[in-house]
Amino acid sequence: MVDPDMIKLLAGACGLLTVASLTGLALERKLSPNGENATIENLNARIKAWWVMVLLVGLAFLAGRAGVILLFAFCSFAALREFVTLTNTRRADHWALAAAFFVVLPVQYGLIWAEQYGIYSIFIPVYAFLLMPIIAVLRGETQGFLIRIAEVQWALMIAVFCASHVPALLTLQIPGYEGRNVLLIAFLVIVVQLSDVLQYVWGKLFGRTKIAPKLSPSKTVEGFVGGVASATGIGALLWWITPFTPVQAGIMAFVITMMGFFGGLVMSAIKRDRGVKDWGHMIGGHGGLIDRLDSVVFAAPIFFHLTRYWWSLT
């Protein structure tokens, strides 16, 4: 059966998006009737994309364990594809890349499905990291070998290993919280994504001081402080969907919003290094899938292991 708290969360998300959509429509009619205001047009594109993402995530959550694992497996595949397009891979790396997409990725999610923590927690950083250079070196191409392999390994770490820790939350056995683990995923995604949105909003309203102008010119100190503080408060208010107390929920929210922020900076640094603005064009108004998930994938492993260490029996 679907957890009633999940229905409440989805209804709340749809309510917020409805308000955002009406606000965006009003702003468009007043300030951009012919599409001349790029900021308003980008805002409405983002809102439309959020509708699609919320509906897809909601359907996956309602489908249960299988839906969530399949959703994030697809996200990992798409994110890995985006990441690889910006690497220095050569023809000699095709075997290693094929192994990454069609062996490592499905095995990682298969192990999570089987709840094999002892293997999925080390499969990529140990076995896959050793497998990739072995496969690549068999092709005999040595030019740029270290850089090429390191890039593929980092792509696997971000797009597959870190991302897979989101559905891995379903494997935790938390006393008194049986059958509700999908709400842990909802907590993680809601808090981290709201932090990103609120940092954007606070930055637009009060932002003056650039926090990392070379990495992300749009991020400001005021936006960062306001967004993290707001998301931390919201996380504390969402304690009722977690096994945490209000104080614990606030602390966890603060930790994952901080990880999300720094994750965004790291991924922005990679984009700047490659001379691109976005990771892709999959999501209207947002860029690529990694542009939307960068903060989540950095926060997910930390959230998973903190929850597992302090609250889980496994």
Q: Indicate the domain borders of the chain.
A: 1-63, 67-164, 178-314
pLDDT for position 215: 84
pLDDT for position 285: 53
How do residues 85-109 score in pLDDT, each as one tens digit? 998 888 889 999 999 999 999 999 9
pLDDT for position 13: 87
> With 70 as the cut, is the pLDDT of residue 227 above it?
yes
The whole model's pTM is what? 0.90
Q: In b/e form, how buried is each residue of 114-141, taking b as 16+ CB within 10 angstroms?
A: eeebeebbebbeeebbebbbebbeeeee
Residue from 168, 166, 157, 170 nearest 105 by CA: 157
pLDDT for position 39: 75
What is the C-alpha separation between 251 and 65, in angstroms, rounded? 27
Residue 286 CA: distances (Å) to CA of 24, 45, 46: 16, 8, 6
Say which amino acid occupies 90. R
Rg (CA), the chain: 20
What is the C-alpha separation between 208 and 230, in angstroms, rounded? 18
Q: Give the confidence band of 226 by pLDDT, cuts at 50, 70, 90.
A: very high
Q: Give the confidence band of 282 by pLDDT, cuts at 50, 70, 90.
A: low
pLDDT for position 278: 78
Q: Which residue has the higher pLDDT, 73 or 2?
A: 73
Mean pLDDT for the chain overall: 90
pLDDT for position 137: 92
> With 80 as the cut, is the pLDDT of residue 42 above it?
no
What is the C-alpha separation between 31 and 36, in angstroms, rounded? 8
Q: Give the confidence band of 286 by pLDDT, cuts at 50, 70, 90.
A: low
Positive or negative, the CA dihedral 282, 287, 288, 290 is negative
How do residues 148-174 score in pLDDT, each as one tens digit? 999 999 999 999 999 999 999 999 999
Token pair 């959230």: residue: 303
Separation of CA 9 from chain center: 19
Highest mean pLDDT among 29-43, 46-60, 257-271: 257-271
pLDDT for position 284: 57
Q: Which residue has the higher pLDDT, 280 or 145?
A: 145
